[in-house]
């Protein structure tokens, strides 16, 4: 039956793909892959390419520019939905691939929102994926939470007030998108000298960086695919 699958492909390591995700990707007619510019390649596609049959399956790049301006992005979301719905209406199965999990700070959320609004007749199935948080914690053997502990997740761009409040109210704080606010975050953490830190960049990829030494983290220059975990308990 024709439908749209939103498929989480994990943070970077193809072996972290779920069995269901692999099955869906092998079976569908169309692989829709987000790109940030027409000349750019899709990181998600690079993860799953070994599972595809490009002689049979059609690759559909969908443009999602790197912008926080909703007015700029809306036309691209609409066009992506139109292209996907067009293929589903033609009887095709389409898998939209996204890094991590499709419902967790993912590009697929924008596609899902517009599909519900503009093409509610298109069946949508979500295939969850391993998040970068889980993968980073695994690489660092870093406990995220236990027992009655509280865990919070924030984009580092939420601002110093929000981060300070989260640190005061939770045992572990995961900060995503740390690059734009990295210096401010590290300065803020000076007030928490006993907190354990884990920094992960491009986790699961060939060039991943995992750091737990505070000085090494402070001296590192993060890229876009970076996160920081702050844990205030000793266990």
Give me the CATH number covering residue 58. 3.40.1010.10
Distance, in Å, from the CA atom of 127 to the CA atom of 100, rounded to the nearest integer, reads 11
37 with 114, same domain? yes
180 with 163, same domain? yes
**DSSP, res 10:** B
107 with 139, same domain? no
- State mean pLDDT over 133-143: 97
Q: Is 105 left (phi over 0), alpha (psi -120 to 50) or beta?
A: left
pLDDT band at 68 (very low <50, low <70, confident <90, very high): confident
Three-state DSSP class for residue 60: strand
66 with 89, same domain? yes
Three-state DSSP class for residue 175: strand
pLDDT of residue 202: 96
10 with 117, same domain? yes
119 with 15, same domain? yes
Residue after which a domain boundary falls, among 84, 105, 127:
127
Phi, psi of 29 (to 5 degrees): -85, -35
Spell out the residues 6+ positions from residue 213 whose beta carbon is closer than 8 angstroms to its own.
none
Distance, in Å, from the CA atom of 139 to the CA atom of 152, rounded to the nearest integer, reads 20
Residue after which a domain boundary falls, among 96, 127, 158:
127
pLDDT of residue 185: 97
Q: Which domain holds residue 164?
A: 132-231
pLDDT of residue 63: 93
Over residues 105-123, the pLDDT tens digits come to: 998 999 999 999 999 999 9
């Amino acid at each position: 039956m024709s439908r749209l699958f939103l498929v989480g492909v994990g943070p970077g390591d193809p072996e972290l793909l779920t069995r269901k995700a692999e099955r869906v990707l092998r079976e569908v007619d169309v692989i829709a892959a987000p790109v940030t510019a027409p000349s750019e390649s899709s990181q998600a596609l690079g993860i799953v390419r070994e599972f595809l049959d490009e002689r049979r399956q059609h690759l559909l790049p969908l443009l999602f520019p790197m912008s926080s301006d909703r007015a700029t992005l809306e036309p691209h979301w609409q066009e992506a939905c139109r292209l996907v719905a067009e293929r589903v209406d033609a009887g095709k199965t389409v898998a939209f691939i996204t890094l991590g999990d499709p419902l967790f700070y993912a590009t697929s959320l924008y596609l899902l929102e517009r599909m519900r609004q503009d093409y509610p007749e298109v069946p949508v199935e979500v295939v969850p994926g391993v998040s970068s948080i889980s993968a980073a914690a695994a690489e660092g053997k870093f406990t995220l939470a236990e027992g009655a502990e509280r865990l919070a997740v924030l984009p580092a761009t939420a601002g110093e007030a929000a981060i300070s409040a989260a640190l005061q109210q939770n045992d572990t704080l995961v900060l995503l998108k740390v690059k734009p606010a990295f210096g401010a975050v590290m300065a803020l953490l000076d007030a928490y000298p006993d907190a354990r830190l884990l920094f992960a960049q491009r986790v699961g990829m060939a060039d991943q960086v995992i750091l737990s030494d505070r000085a090494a983290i402070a001296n590192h220059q993060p890229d876009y695919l970076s996160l920081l975990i702050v844990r205030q308990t000793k266990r």
